[in-house]
Every structure is written in structure tokens, then in C-alpha cells.
Structure 1
Amino acid sequence: MLDTPDEINLVTLNCWGLKYVSKLRRERLTEIGRQLAIASPQPHIVALQECWTQEDYRSIRRETRFILPYAKFYHSGVFGGGLAILSRWPIEESTMYRYPLNGRPTAFWRGDWYVGKGVACARIRYGTAPNHIIEVFNTHTHAPYEGGKPNDSYICHRTAQSWEMAKLLRGAAERGHLVLAMGDFNMIPMSLEHQLITALAPVSDVWRVLHPDSSLGPAHHPAEEARRRPIPTAEFNILENGATSDGPYNTWRWTKAQQKLLGPGKEPVTVSPDTPDPLGKRLDYIFASTGDIPALGGAWKVKRASVGMMMRHPELGCSLSDHFAVEATLVFHPSRRVSPSPSLPPLPGSDSNNTASNRESTLSGDAGTGGHVQSTSGTAIQPPNEPTPPTTTSPGESTKADSALHNGAYLQLHSPVPSLLNSPSQHQHNHQTSLPPASYDAILTLIRRYTARSRAQRAWRARHFSLALLAAVACLVGVWFTPSNSGKNKNYVAFILTLVASLGLAAGTVDGLLALLFFGSELKALREFEWEVRNARRRAALLFPETRDDSGGGNGRRSEGGVRGQYPDRNGSVGDDGIEDEW
């Protein structure tokens, strides 16, 4: 029989375990497993990314099998997705969901398409009650090779992947389960991709719950520069900003000359906490919900969040990965006055326009554990455990606990079902599960820009195939009319024409298959994505009537019934809401 836990300890780590590419891979990943096994507090659920090989996975399993007896290695794509989930509790179900948009096979040197990136899903039972279920979603989204610049051709992919993740999280929350999204999201805080997850799903970024004023990216990023803050130090980026990547503490970001100072038998190389850190940023995240508050009789809230796995390899002196881990502890806070009804009405005087950013507020006072102190190594010093509530409470104590439930101490007050929240009384909850129309317009702009690029690529490759076919035929005709070889005067024209025809036709065939199979599939996935965004935008226009107008751009237009409307399609014509136009 399972003992229902009061706390859940979480770890997510990008292991940097690329076969033949990552340096000292076997030694590092074995040490990662050993550090997980001796970690304090003991982790209950661990999400790993870039654990590409079965060899490395088994190595980690050997080290952690006693504290994390249940685990799943996920297979995807040609070379595997590199995702694994380890758990203290049984994994009842698992699924590997591949992203519809995920890179291009033509960018073979990048590999995102070939590994079949997606979401590793696991349903974990942590107690005996029917609703004692955790749905874990582990992902490694498309890498930002082009730095997120306006002409970044992959930003549409990452946006689509965040959209898909939000749908998975929302569905799990609607089932009444505790929802966790963990992994390397390759995005910076409060970016459009980040907002998609926190606004369209009932989850919050656990780091921003405790550090709502943390950075919005590296020091040179426009969003962070606009805040006019000094260049952070290495220590500040770890303790306050949660920078898991590109910081000076990580030896894999050092120059080659600096890395030569490391190795067996050499003196440890230290980094001053005051070292300026203009490049450090947070790419790794843990998102969490509260679970079903009425069914559970309480809610899960954030107790601790820290950057972890910062130790060096004991013999090699290098960092264990090119990323640091994100560690968090969720604690269950019971409520003795939770209504058993499916939804909780807002308290008198509560803010009816609460948004995703409001949910990620600092825990303070009676709302929770408040701030926490961390050591310079990045390991959090946990605050003292909260006292167990007495069996009987006075009206004042019960009111105080209910106030904590509604004032932002929890990750998310409800797990709303967006499709059911259509009544005027639920209007405020709709604001919590939608973005303003302008955000959807930005996504539609990305989709249209990338669709134009994909169409141009398909047309170019189709033309290349046609030209290659014509050239091959012409070369073979030329071979027919080439004089035959005689004596010592060899005629190499026939050989050259045949070689050119063969190579040209092979290259043209590859491009023809890409145009037919890959780009055709990608364009259909883009159409599906665009339809979903358009549909969500029309709904958002109903939720934000102050932004509704008749000026095109996908803006919803009120019809006679107040529900149906029309929107302009790509060509400027108007199509009915429920009909997908042929573009």
C-alpha cells in the first residue's frame, strides 16, 4: 500500500549525453546517477533530457534503482528522443507524443528532426485514492540555433511546441490530476512560448512563484536590457535568476585554455561568486498545478526551488553537464473548508481579472513559506516544515487558511475546463485560460511568415526535381549519339554524361521526395496550427470585448447572435467560422 506523501521532490536535468559528440559522456552520466542517489532531499520524480543511449540510461538506473525503482526510457525518431522519467512511485501509463512541427530533415547537422522531439508523458500513482495521480510531461523543445532573432526560422516550431504542451497540460488538469511539466524548453522567461504555457494551462512556473522579479533572459536580451539593471553576478544568477545555462560556474562554457586546467590530479579551479555573468539564462523549467482542490481537500504549493547539480566530477573536475538542474519541492496544504462542489466561487473582494502572471506571486506571510535562503552552491536551505494543522480549528484559523488558499499561495486556484466556462459568472476564469487577441495575432504572423517560407522551399525543390529529370533525360539522349570508343582513343563523353545524369537525378529525387512528403506534411501541420489559433483568438475576442473590432487581422466580429462571427483568411476574403478554407 502506498503512503500518501506530504511533499514531492522534483528534479529536471539536461544531461548533454550526445553519443560521439559530448565529451566524457559515460563518466559524467554515471556520476549524475550517483549524485541523484545521494541527493538530499531524495528526489521523487526526475526528468532527464539528452540521455540518448540505452547504455547511459542503464548506468543511471543502476545508481538510482533503490530510491527511484520505476523508470521509463522513451523511444522516438531515428536516433531517439533522449527523454527519460524516473519515479519513486509506479508508472501506470506512458506515451511518447511527437510534436507535429519539429525542425527540418534538410538541417541534418542539427538533428532535431531526426531525434523526433516530443513530450514524454507518464501517469504516476502516488497514493491509493482514485485522484492520487501525477501526470508528468517531460520535453526538450527545438533548440534556438538562430538566437530567437526576428528572422529566426525555428521560432514558429518552438511556439507550436509550447502550444501543444499547453493542450496536454490542460487536458491532464481537466482530468483532476496533479500536473507537472519539466524539461529543457529552450525559451526565456515571459517569452511568448512561456506565456502560452502559463496562460493556456492551469500551471505556473515554480521558479517565478518564489522569484517573481527574476530576469527575463541574459543581460543583453532586449527584454532584460529594458529593465536597466546592472550585469548580474554569477552567484546572483544562480540564486535569484535560476540561470541553468551558459553561466561561468559551468566548466563546459569555459575557454579551451581554462578547461585544460581541469583533470585528474589537478587542483580544483574555483569561480568567484562576484564574476560578471552577462550570458547566463534560464532554459530549464518546472511547471506545476495544484491538483483538484475540492477532490484532494487541499492543494499543492511551492515550498522550494533552486538550481542544482552544480557539483563537479570528483576525478575529472568538470561539470556534470552543460546545463544545471532545476530542483523543486511541492508541499500539500490541506484546507478544512474546501467546498466539495466542482468549482470554487471567488471570495468577496477577490480580483476578478487575475491572470497567469498574478498566479506567479511571491509566497509571503500567511500565504505560504515565504522566501528561502540558498547557499552559494545553489542548494537551497529549506525553511522549517509547517506545523501539522490541529484536528479541530477555530473559525479564525479556518478563515485564515481559506484566505491563504485564495490569495496566491497556491500555484493555481482552479483547474478550469475552458470548454465549459461559458457562463457570464465564469468570465473571470476564462481570463485565466486565454491570451489577449494581440498575442494570437503575433502567433498568426509567425505562422504565415513560416508558411510562406515552407511553400517557397517546396516549390523550389519541386522545380529542382523537374529540372533534374529533364537534365537526366537530355544526358542519356546525349549518350545515345556519342560515338563509341575505338582503339586507344577512348571517348569519355558517354561516361561523364551517364555520371551527371545519375547524380543529378538522385539529388533531384531527394528534393522531390522532400517537396512531396516533408514539406507537404509540414504545410498541413501549419494549417492545423493556424486553425487552432484562429479558433482560440475568436474565443479570446469574446472574453476581451474591449479589444474586439471590425478591422481584420483575425479580430472577432460580433454577429447577430453574439457568438458566431467571421474572420478574414490569408487572401483577405471572409470565411465562415466553422469552415476551413482551402489555401
Structure 2
Amino acid sequence: MEDGFSDSPPTRLNILTLNCWGLKYLAKHRNARLTAIGARIAAYNPPPDIVGLQECWTQDDYESIRRQTNAILPYCKFYYSGIFGGGLAILSRWPIEESSMMRYSLNGRPTAFFRGDWFVGKGVACATLRVGTGQNDFVEVFNTHLHAPYEREPNDSYICHRTAQAWEIAKLMRAAAGRGRLVIALGDFNMIPLSLAHRIITTHAPVQDAWRVLHPDSPVGAAVDDIEAFRNPPIPTAEFNLQRNGATCDSVLNTWRWNKGQQRRLARGFDVTVDVSTADPHAKRLDYIFVGSGGPSAIPEVSERGAWTVESVRVGMTERHPELRCSLSDHFSVEATIARQSPSLKDVPRNLEQPRTEKPKPPSYDEILRMTSLYKARERHQRHLRLSHFAIQLLITIACLVAIWWSPHNYVSFLLMLVSSLGLTAGVIDGLIGGLFVGSELRALKEFEWEILNARKIADAAEDGEGEA
């Protein structure tokens, strides 16, 4: 063993991802819960090799988890981004050779300060792990937290942002796989399976959703969602959602999703329990582990070692805090084990290094372009309103200043000055947002739109070529 790795790269990897719900000042029992999360990770047997954390906002919480897991995960990185931080951290058994924080070009709006997505600077925490002494013994890890959905798709006003984010992380994964490296993307993707963002990742990057590799018939949404209505499934139990559906959010077993009456009883010290056979209609899967390597490697030493397969995948961190009796987070974790098979077995169905035969379908491009076009029209209208507000407020301020000349009383002058000052301040802020932020957003949308148009053109040309052949 040297510098945390042996001459031979690993043949099995244990991966864990968890949204910690570590919002400073807002998340209840934050310190106690994140301390317990660190203790729980340290107690895993077998221990995880790679951990991705989201919503770990404060340096103190990160350091607490790092201290507790240092024996099994000695290499860690806390990522800085935005005004309040990105909340992302990666913990690893192996050295982090390279690291970067890539912020998404489309990431919410500064006017939605009560949501905070823009202020935290969401993006992708990237880490290149050296897992052996060979020339290409690397694992590329991408940890992310996509923009939250505040309405149901397709009516979510931020679906364009989340779609662009999925496109950007897919490009990162595709580039890493092109270098012949194992790719692991994990985090809270704030999407349901087979949604637009999910399809972008699984068709535009050579990766697979680890859960769907082993559970291909798992649902695409909560049992009560319209998208599940056509299947008319029975309402699943909480246990079934954990074991077969991979539900990590909105489970009846999670105390932070309980009604106020249940939470008050728990806060008073009553050990409130929910049977695992309880119906669980709202639970869904928002947290993912994607793995892949993009096909047989061009590097002989990598190809000879065999293909990676998904060995197991599960929902974890369902236990509660030992004293507070609350769930450790408002999400459960996703945990996967992938193993390297011998070269003679490289054509088994779960092979992550198989050449991908499916191709992105042009209708998906058209779907993205329609959505982008609608969003651009909305933002242009918003910019017009904001700039108009600034112009109108400027005229009102001038009028108030002129009116002061003929003001009969000092208090009237004071009121005119107060109204004009406050109004102009609001107008200037709106003008800056409309002129600068919305302009920047529209330019980012143009870049995104060009990439989609270019990808569609390439896909169409490939289809035409196949048709002629």
C-alpha cells in the first residue's frame, strides 16, 4: 500500500450519496443530525469507498463528518461556490489528484431569494481519484445537486434550468468516459426516472442509472402522480418503496415528512413509529448513482481487466437519530456496489462497458427546443417589464423632486423624498436584474440552444447515413 492505493486498482467499489439537509439556521437539529450522519458512515461494514454529500453547507459540519470518517475516507474535498456555498463534498478512500467546481450556466433567478438556488451557485463538484499506480488508474467522480422543482413537470417554471444542467453534467461524463475512465455521477438530481433530464443523462452520456440496471420495472414517479396513473399500480408500502422502488424522498418513514401532529409528539419525547407495511403514496426517487465507462477502452491495460457491473443497489440511512428519534435527513441515501468482472464475462447484460447501441432520438431534441423557446419568450417579457419599471420609476422620482419645490410643508417634502428614494431603489434593482441578469441568462440559453441544434443535426445526419447504407 502506497499513498492510499495499491499497485492493483480495486475490483469492487462501494458508493454512497446523501442529501444531508444541512441548511444553516433553517434545518432543525442540523449539528446533531450531521454528526450522526458522520458516525453512521464511519460504522458501515464494508465501508464506502466514495461518498458524495449534498446540502452540507457549513464548514463545521463538513469537518465533523471528515473527522469521524477519516480512518476509512482520508481524502476529502469541500467545494466552494456562489454566495452561500454549493453544499457539495466528496469523500474518498483514494487520493484526489484533480478537483474543480463547475457552476451551471443556468441556475435559478436572483429574484427568487426565498428559494436560494441562484445564491448557492449550484454546479458539479468534480474529482479525479487515483486508484492505482497504472497510467490510467483513475475514477472520475461528479457530485451535483440540480435545481429544485417547485411545480410538477411539465409546468415547472425551472424545468429549462434543470434540463440545461443535466445537459452540462452529461457532457462532463461523456468527456471523462472518452478518456477511458470509470465515471461515477451521484447526487440529488431533483428529477424522476425517465423525465427529460433523466433521459438526457442516460442517452447523451455513456452511463446507466444503477437502480434501473437492477430494477428496470421500478416506477417513474410517486404512486399518486399523473405519470403513474396509466399503469394503475397498487399503492406501494413503505417497505416496497425502499426495497424495490428506490424511493429516497417523501417517504412516510421519514420523520421530516410527517404531519405537524406527529412531529410535535416526537418533539415531546414520544417514540412515534410507522410500520413498514404502511401505504406510501407520495414517496419518489430523486437521488441517483450513475455509472459507466463508455465502451471498451482503447487502453489495453484497462480493457484486459474486465468490465464493471452493478452488483447491488439499495436505499440506506433510514435509521433515526439515537436520541432525537428524528430521521438523519429529509432524504434517504442511495448506496451501490459495482464490481469488475473478468474479461471472459464482459458481455453479460449488466456490463457497464458495453458499447451503447441506443442513440439519442431527434424528438427529444425537439422537446428541448420547444421548452427553450417558450422559456426565452417568457424571459424577454420579464426583461421588458423590469426595464419598464425602472424607466417609469425614474420618471416618478423626477416628478417627486420637482413637486418638492412647491411643497407647502416639510413633512410633505419628506414623504415625497422617501417615496421617490424607495421607489428608485426598487426600480434600479429591477433594471439591473432585467438588463444584466436576464441578458446573461438569455445568452446562456442561446449557447444551450445552439448545442441542442448541433446535436440534432449530427443525429439526423447519422440516421440519414444509416438509411442510405
Structure 2 residue aligned with 1:235, among 233, 239, 242?
239
* Partner SS for 2:31: helix
Task: Describe the superposition over 1:435-472 as per-residue Cα deviations: whole angstroms up to 9, x where unpaired.
Answer: 21111000001100110111001010001111111111
* Structure 2: stretches of 5+ with no match in the other structure: none
How far apart, CA to CA, are the structure 2 residues paired with 1:409 and 1:327? 17
Structure 2 residue aligned with 1:204, among 208, 215, 228?
208
Matching residue of 2:378 = 453
Matching residue of 1:28 = 33
Q: Which amino acid aligns with 1:286?
A: I
Matching residue of 1:105 = 110
Q: Is the contact between residue 436 and residue 544 of structure 1 (CA under 8 Å) also seen in structure 2?
A: no
Matching residue of 1:494 = 413
Q: Is the contact between residue 38 and residue 64 of structure 2 (CA under 8 Å) also seen in structure 1?
A: yes
How far apart, CA to CA, are the structure 1 residues paired with 2:127 and 2:398? 54
Matching residue of 1:252 = 256
Matching residue of 1:275 = 278
* Partner SS for 1:261: helix
Question: Displacement of 1:481 after TM fit?
Answer: 2.8
How far apart, CA to CA, are the structure 1 residues paired with 2:315 and 2:455? 35
Q: Which amino acid aligns with 2:314?
A: S
Q: Which amino acid aligns with 2:389?
A: H
Question: Displacement of 1:223 after TM fit?
Answer: 2.4
* Partner SS for 1:136: strand
Structure 2 residue aligned with 1:287, among 290, 294, 300?
290
Matching residue of 1:360 = none
Q: Is the contact between residue 144 and residue 188 of structure 2 (CA under 8 Å) also seen in structure 1?
A: yes
How far apart, CA to CA, are the structure 2 residues paired with 1:282 and 1:226? 19
How far apart, CA to CA, are the structure 1 residues paired with 2:66 and 2:199? 35
How far apart, CA to CA, are the structure 2 residues paired with 1:199 and 1:292? 14
Q: Which amino acid aligns with 1:248?
A: V
* Partner SS for 2:165: helix
Question: Displacement of 1:217 after TM fit?
Answer: 0.6
Matching residue of 2:67 = 62
1:322 aligns to 2:333 (yes or no): no
How far apart, CA to CA, are the structure 1 residues paired with 2:189 and 2:332? 14
Question: Displacement of 1:543 after TM fit?
Answer: 2.9
How has the CA–CA distance of structure 1 residues 290 and 408 changed in structure 2, closer, same or farther, with 3 Å as cutoff?
Answer: farther
Matching residue of 1:215 = 219
Identify which of structures 1 and 2 has the higher relative contact order when contacts are C-alpha pairs closer than 8 Å and 6+ apart.
2
* Partner SS for 2:265: coil
Q: Is the contact between residue 73 and residue 84 of structure 1 (CA under 8 Å) also seen in structure 2?
A: yes
Question: Displacement of 1:151 after TM fit?
Answer: 2.7
Q: Is the contact between residue 295 and residue 353 of structure 2 (CA under 8 Å) also seen in structure 1?
A: no
1:43 aligns to 2:51 (yes or no): no
1:411 aligns to 2:416 (yes or no): no
1:176 aligns to 2:180 (yes or no): yes
Q: Is the contact between residue 204 and residue 412 of structure 1 (CA under 8 Å) also seen in structure 2?
A: no
Q: Which amino acid aligns with 1:206?
A: A
How far apart, CA to CA, are the structure 2 residues paired with 1:412 and 1:252? 39
Question: Displacement of 1:87 after TM fit?
Answer: 0.4
* Partner SS for 1:224: helix
Q: Which amino acid aligns with 2:458?
A: R
* Partner SS for 1:262: helix
- Richer in helix (by share): 2
Q: Which amino acid aligns with 1:107?
A: A
How far apart, CA to CA, are the structure 2 residues paired with 1:231 and 1:219? 6
Q: Which amino acid aligns with 1:524?
A: R
Question: Displacement of 1:147 after TM fit?
Answer: 2.4
Question: Displacement of 1:406 after TM fit?
Answer: 2.5
What does residue range 102-501 of structure 1 map to in structure 2 within 5 Å? Answer: 102-148=107-153, 150-262=154-266, 266=269, 268-290=271-293, 293-294=296-297, 295=299, 296=302, 297=304, 298-335=306-343, 401=344, 404-414=345-355, 432=358, 434-483=359-408, 490-501=409-420
Q: Is the contact between residue 437 and residue 547 of structure 1 (CA under 8 Å) also seen in structure 2?
A: no
Give the RMSD, CA atoms, in angstroms: 1.7
How far apart, CA to CA, are the structure 1 residues paired with 2:221 and 2:151? 15
Task: Describe the superposition over 1:117-148 as per-residue Cα deviations: whole angstroms up to 9, x where unpaired.
Answer: 00000000111111110110000000001122
Task: Describe the superposition over 1:351-384 as per-residue Cα deviations: whole angstroms up to 9, x where unpaired.
Answer: xxxxxxxxxxxxxxxxxxxxxxxxxxxxxxxxxx
How far apart, CA to CA, are the structure 2 residues paired with 1:306 and 1:293? 27
Task: Describe the superposition over 1:212-255 as per-residue Cα deviations: whole angstroms up to 9, x where unpaired.
Answer: 11111101222222112111111111000000000111111111
How far apart, CA to CA, are the structure 2 residues paired with 1:316 and 1:191? 36
Q: Is the contact between residue 295 and residue 354 of structure 2 (CA under 8 Å) also seen in structure 1?
A: no
Q: Is the contact between residue 9 and residue 45 of structure 1 (CA under 8 Å) also seen in structure 2?
A: yes
Q: Which amino acid aligns with 2:352?
A: L
Q: Percent identity?
A: 59
Q: Which amino acid aligns with 1:454?
A: E
Task: Describe the superposition over 1:462-515 as per-residue Cα deviations: whole angstroms up to 9, x where unpaired.
Answer: 0111111111111111112334xxxxxx44221121111111111110011101
* Partner SS for 1:471: helix
Matching residue of 2:433 = 514
Matching residue of 2:78 = 73
Q: Is the contact between residue 296 and residue 353 of structure 2 (CA under 8 Å) also seen in structure 1?
A: no
Q: Which amino acid aligns with 1:207?
A: W
Question: Displacement of 1:263 after TM fit?
Answer: 5.1
Task: Describe the superposition over 1:93-129 as per-residue Cα deviations: whole angstroms up to 9, x where unpaired.
Answer: 1100000001000000000000000000000011111
How far apart, CA to CA, are the structure 2 residues paired with 1:90 and 1:535? 38
Matching residue of 1:94 = 99
Q: Is the contact between residue 291 and residue 300 of structure 1 (CA under 8 Å) also seen in structure 2?
A: no
* Structure 1: stretches of 5+ with no match in the other structure: 336-400, 415-428, 484-489, 549-561, 563-583
> Which structure's CA Rg is the greater one?
1
Question: Displacement of 1:292 after TM fit?
Answer: 6.5
Q: Is the contact between residue 124 and residue 144 of structure 2 (CA under 8 Å) also seen in structure 1?
A: yes
Q: Which amino acid aligns with 1:327?
A: E
